[in-house]
Amino acid sequence: MPVNMGPHTNFGRATRALLLGGAVAVALPHLAWAAVTEADFLDDLPVVLSVSRLSQPVHEAPAAVTVIDRDMIRASGFRDIPDLLRLVPGFSVAYTRDNTWAVGYHGMADAFSRRFQVLVDGRSIYSAAYGAVYWGELPLSIDDIERIEVVRGPNAASYGANAFLAVINIITKDPAQTPGTFASVQAGEQGMSGVTFRHGGEHGDLRYRMTVSAQTRDRFETHAPNGASIGEETQTYFVNGRADYRISATDEFSAQFGLSTGDWQAGYSLALEEPPAQEVSAQYVQLKYRRATGADDEWMVQAYFSRNALDAPHVTPLVPPLVPLPTSLLLDAGGDLVQTRANVELQVNQRVAPSWRMAWGAELRQETVKSKRYFDTDEPLEGMLGRVHANLEWRARPDLLVQGGAMLEHHHFTGTDISPRVAVNYTLAKGHTMRLNVSQAYRSPTFFEQKGNLTYYTTAGAQVARLFVPSDPLRPERILSREIGYVGQYPAFHLQLDARLFRDTVYDYINNDGTPNQFDNRGDFTVRGGDLQLNWQPVSGLRLSAQFARAFIDAAAAIDKDLPQSTPRNNFSLLARYELGQGWTASAGVYRSGRMKWLSDGDVTQAFTRWDARLARRWDWQGHEVEAALVGQNLGEDYEEFRNTNIFSQRVYGSLSIGW
């Protein structure tokens, strides 16, 4: 159960003071600093897999990419996966309602995150119904994540429709990395508590791990205009497992599964039709076979099936009840949704010549969506998606890398499209690479955008209101992206720098208007700006990661009057990590966002600066590795998230983990 540690208790004040002291220790360490060698620095350069489906160091990738590794995940103190995207330049993150998250990249940000492709070990978790990413019901512990690769910019040449603004690829730990047993508990203010238990092992050529977890959250210090408290308590439980079997020196079979269930209390709402509670569940199974005959020669086939379900039974009176009401005056606002995805995919990587590498493949996917509330039918909606892709890398000279790729895709709503990309990486001098990139991507309309039919009835079956109606045939959104990038390595200063300038033109933007609402293609607009990320290790025990982004949207009011405000002009974050010695570590995070307007049912949120801090110690106890940590979030002023009634206050939690 959550531990009551309110913001006005002596415990809360004392722990905040302790955490601020740890943060100061990061900035003003009193211990001797060890020197960092050039070898130490160069050994830390990341290799990424998510841009072209080829293994590449970041300076040779055809697009900008940010890597959030497990050290950054631990140092941040975040326990919810979407929060980690605050460490990526240009990303806006906010909790909305009903255990859902809003994520935006340089604008166009709403409650559904419709313009990202999000993958977990190659499995897409993008919702075909609304385009949402159901982060809250994802059966994945943050402790099981090895790293997250975020491609900043369109990447449809590798991952097809909906890799429109970015690709977020979550890579979990191999069972070989999780031997033995691990247990972790957290408890703190604002209803935060959690417990996770994991066991991994091996038997001959078989490696495996199993994780079970229970998480509770109550997000905000929130009150509605009439003074009523808005609770957001959610309880989510999940189990997942993975087993890898090495058949031979070249062949491996892997199987994964996950199950989650949640009881989400939405609390008080100003809209009567919004249900105060939801029951959610998610299941998936994923199978993968790999054959690797060389460093650059392998093929993989994978298949997965996933199912997500939501049930929100709710009956509310249409008028304030003075006496018991007949069914004709009761609104049936229950929300039901079941969606499934069946997917099979082939990928082949090969070196076709000494200076040529290639990744190619094909994919076939079936989507089904069923919801009486949102589509006004008891029949499921179905769609098929087929695609083929190829990415080619040519090392024309030692200092010149030319890359090209394309995705040919047939979508059940919009027909056939092709998403090409051409990139040139030129090494100016050792450690300094320029990148030119031109690409095109599409975003297919979701089931709700194309066929949404949101109608409310009384419990007696009489129609009360029709808020959305099906759309005329929609064209896919299209983006033409032009980018100039630079990746610099400065070993003498123990510094890495990644910068990009971009100009994106979005065509056939999909929006809704009218009464009832109907989606249509509203027009074209431009997004321009730049990203900057910096990693600095001045001494062996201190690491700093800084991100900055600046963006502008030029769009006519007829397209969407709120669109230019949907991106903060300036976005900044800094994460500092310092090894204090004797097992002690301290870290501090600063997250700054400018004023912005969340689209759809979001509000204008004012600029804010959030300060987080973490103080932890690791030690060995009877042969077991133990870590205790104290984390403070938003140690400065309260700020608004998504809605102006969502007040994110100061809070502290503690955690204890043990491995054996």
**Greater confidence, 626 or 96?**
626
Q: Is the pLDDT of residue 20 over 60?
A: no
Mean pLDDT of 312-339: 69
Separation between Cα atoms, residue 605 and residue 619, nearest integer Å: 42
pLDDT grade for 7, boundaries at 50, 70 and 90 = very low
Mean pLDDT of 554-566: 93
pLDDT in tens, 31-55: 434 444 444 444 456 899 989 999 9
pLDDT grade for 264, boundaries at 50, 70 and 90 = confident
Q: Is the pLDDT of residue 363 over 90?
A: yes
pLDDT grade for 496, boundaries at 50, 70 and 90 = very high
Query: What is the structure's pLDDT at 461?
Result: 81
Separation between Cα atoms, residue 555 and residue 306, nearest integer Å: 38
Q: With CA atoms as reference, report the closest residue to 657 among 604, 611, 621, 603.
A: 621
Separation between Cα atoms, residue 403 and residue 421, nearest integer Å: 8
Separation between Cα atoms, residue 364 and residue 387, nearest integer Å: 7
Q: Is the pLDDT of residue 26 over 60?
A: no
Separation between Cα atoms, residue 324 and residue 432, nearest integer Å: 75
Query: What is the structure's pLDDT at 329?
Result: 67
- Please measure the distance between the N-terminal and C-terminal CA atoms of the chain and give it in whole angstroms: 25
Angle CA 490–296–201, to nearest 5: 90
Mean pLDDT of 49-73: 95
- Is-cis flag, bond preceding 473, omega within 30? no
CATH 2.60.40.10, applies to 10-659: no
Place of tokens 């841009």: 51
Collapsing DSSP to helix, strand or coil, 600 comes out as coil
| The 3-state secondary structure of 603-650, one letter per residue | CEECCEEEEEEEEEEEEEECCEEEEEEEEEECCCCCEEECEEEEEECC
> Which residues are CB-neighbours of 592 under 8 A, at least 6 positions away?
570, 571, 572, 573, 607, 608, 609, 610
Separation between Cα atoms, residue 85 and residue 82, nearest integer Å: 6
Q: Is the pLDDT of residue 271 over 90?
A: no
Compute the mean pLDDT over every residue in the chain, rounded to the nearest whole number. 88
Query: What is the structure's pLDDT at 217?
Result: 87
* Beta carbons of 364 and 124 less than 8 angstroms apart: no
Sheet holding 145-152, edge to edge: 64-69, 145-152, 166-172, 116-120, 123-124
Separation between Cα atoms, residue 542 and residue 558, nearest integer Å: 50
User: Comparing 91-105, 106-120, 215-229, 511-525, which segment has the lowest mean pLDDT?
Assistant: 215-229
Q: Is the pLDDT of residue 25 over 60?
A: no
DSSP conformational letter for 328: G
Q: With CA atoms as reference, report the closest residue to 423 among 502, 525, 360.
A: 502
